[in-house]
Amino acid sequence: MTARPISDARLTILGTGTSSGVPAIGCECRVCTSGDPRDRRSRTAGALQFIDAGGQSRCILLDCGPDHREQALRAKLTRADEILVTHAHVDHVWGLDETRRYNVMQHGPIRLTTDAPTLQSLRTIYAHILGGDPGPNGDDSWVAEIETRDVRPDEPFNCFGLRVTAVELLHGRMSVLGFRIDAPEGTGGELFPLAWCTDVSEISAAAAEALAGVRTLVLDALRDRPHPTHFTIAQAVEAAGRLGAGRTILVHLAHDLTHEELLARLPEGISPGFDGQVLN
């Protein structure tokens, strides 16, 4: 890939919550009833915006969960050129219907990139978009227009001038993708290399090698109590140190700790994310 300059890159952390969201429905715990807006955690997702070499603004969505509409309104998103999907769990993909608004605004389809097993699950969930079954109303239905490409771990691909590498991570017994995103050398500021690693309970030696040296790491850290499919906060801190990340933002947070409590006890360079946070 020839190096192309990109500019004005920024990552908006659209959501930082675990699958139930925080507040969780019906929960009256001190985190769910906190008055700190940073303790309102919608489902984990991100938006990477930048200007490409041709001067066109671009937006790459990192997952697209059930809170996407509210997240997009808050971040004032006006386009989506690419959706990178980590895995087909509800909290990461049940916002795909909402992307039809971007089709209207940008007069064209959106590309969705993930691995083959995830695509297969998405074709079942989204038969009306990806499965060739628009339903009895056929073309009268307004559905998203999405083009798919499947990628394999460790085979870098181009995303409007960015070099993206899918990295295989373990989410319990399930294999999911993390994404490492590199800007062409000399461009992109402090953000890159950037890694998006939500929903992970183990990073293999091979994955750690692929992620080594990232400057910005967005990483799963559910809570203190062990969980079979997510890193605890201690495990996330250990992994961030092992990868040598410059700064680490913790996401997929449950309702066990407030933002303030978590911030106060994390080592330098690691902080809890919050909805609407912008990194550049």
Contact residues toward Zn ion (CB under 5 A) are 19, 27, 29, 32, 89, 91, 199, 255
Nearest to 253 by CA among 22, 11, 12: 22
Nearer to Zn ion, 229 or 280 (CB): 229
Nearer to Zn ion, 6 or 203 (CB): 203
Q: How far is the CB of 202 from Zn ion (least distance, A)?
A: 14
Nearer to Zn ion, 29 or 105 (CB): 29
Q: How far is the CB of 26 from Zn ion (least distance, A)?
A: 9
**Pairing mode of beta strands 45-51, 7-15:** antiparallel
Task: Report the residue count for the chain.
Answer: 280
Q: How far is the CB of 144 from Zn ion (least distance, A)?
A: 21
Q: Measured between alpha carbons, how far is 265 from 17 in angstroms, rounded to an integer?
A: 19
Q: How far is the CB of 16 from Zn ion (least distance, A)?
A: 11
Whether the CB-CB separation of 219 and 251 falls below 8 Å is answered with yes
Task: Point out which residues pair with 12 in neighbouring strands.
Answer: 47, 278
Nearer to Zn ion, 27 or 105 (CB): 27
Establish how many alpha carbons lie within 13 A of residue 227's alpha carbon, considering only the half-sphere containing its beta carbon.
24
Establish how many alpha carbons lie within 13 A of residue 176's alpha carbon, considering only the half-sphere containing its beta carbon.
25
Q: Is the dihedral of CA 199, 205, 211, 212 positive or negative?
A: positive
Q: Measured between alpha carbons, how far is 212 from 241 in angstroms, rounded to an integer?
A: 10
Q: How far is the CB of 106 from Zn ion (least distance, A)?
A: 28
Q: Measured between alpha carbons, how far is 43 from 69 in angstroms, rounded to an integer?
A: 11
Q: Measured between alpha carbons, how far is 114 from 117 in angstroms, rounded to an integer?
A: 8
Q: Is the dihedral of CA 278, 166, 183, 69 positive or negative?
A: negative
Q: How far is the CB of 252 from Zn ion (least distance, A)?
A: 6
State which amino acid sits at residue 94. W
Nearer to Zn ion, 9 or 93 (CB): 93
Q: How far is the CB of 241 from Zn ion (least distance, A)?
A: 23
Name the 3-class secondary structure at 275: coil
